[in-house]
Structure 1
Amino acid sequence: MLTINVAVLLAVIVLLRLRRRTESRSRRDEKFTVVIVLALGVLIAPTPVGRGILDFLGELADGFGEGGP
């Protein structure tokens, strides 16, 4: 039996949609992409990968905060 992780499937869909040319997108198409990305974020957030991304972004933000004048 083949199982597909929903987060992986959404990630593939997002990558395929983002590869398309920007000029050919309608406003409805852009909104649909945003909804898919938000759903992917909700699925990834509670996972160890999501925690790693959050930690990385937190360190990156701290680096920008310390680098100011």
Structure 2
Amino acid sequence: MTVSASAAFAIIILMRLGRRTEARSRTDERFTALLCTVFGVLIAATPWGQAILRLVGVITQATH
């Protein structure tokens, strides 16, 4: 269930971010931020999310 919900959120986020910035209201931007947060929580539990976390950790360590 988590992977399919994550895929649905990813598609919705990509569709919302494809719109022009000038056409967005504050409510629209907040809703998109909420969707991105929920997407991050859903994907964090998957192996793909763990791989992204490890990659970000390696990049962070390499920059310090």
Quote the RMSD (CA, aligned, Å).
1.1
Q: Percent identity?
A: 44
Give the drift of 1:63. Answer: 1.0
Once residues 30 and 53 of structure 1 are traced to their aligned partners in structure 2, the CA distance between those partners, rounded to angstroms, is 25
TM-score where L is the length of structure 1: 0.86
TM-score where L is the length of structure 2: 0.93
Structure 2's unaligned 5+ residue stretches are none
Give the drift of 1:21. Answer: 0.4
Q: Does 1:10 align with 2:14?
A: no
Structure 1's unaligned 5+ residue stretches are none
Once residues 53 and 19 of structure 2 are traced to their aligned partners in structure 1, the CA distance between those partners, rounded to angstroms, is 28
Amino acid in structure 2 at the alignment position of 1:60? I
Structure 1 or 2: larger helix share? 2
Once residues 8 and 15 of structure 1 are traced to their aligned partners in structure 2, the CA distance between those partners, rounded to angstroms, is 11
Runs of 4+ residues over 3 Å off in structure 1: none
Higher relative contact order (CA 8 A, sep 6+): 2
Give the total of aligned pairs: 62
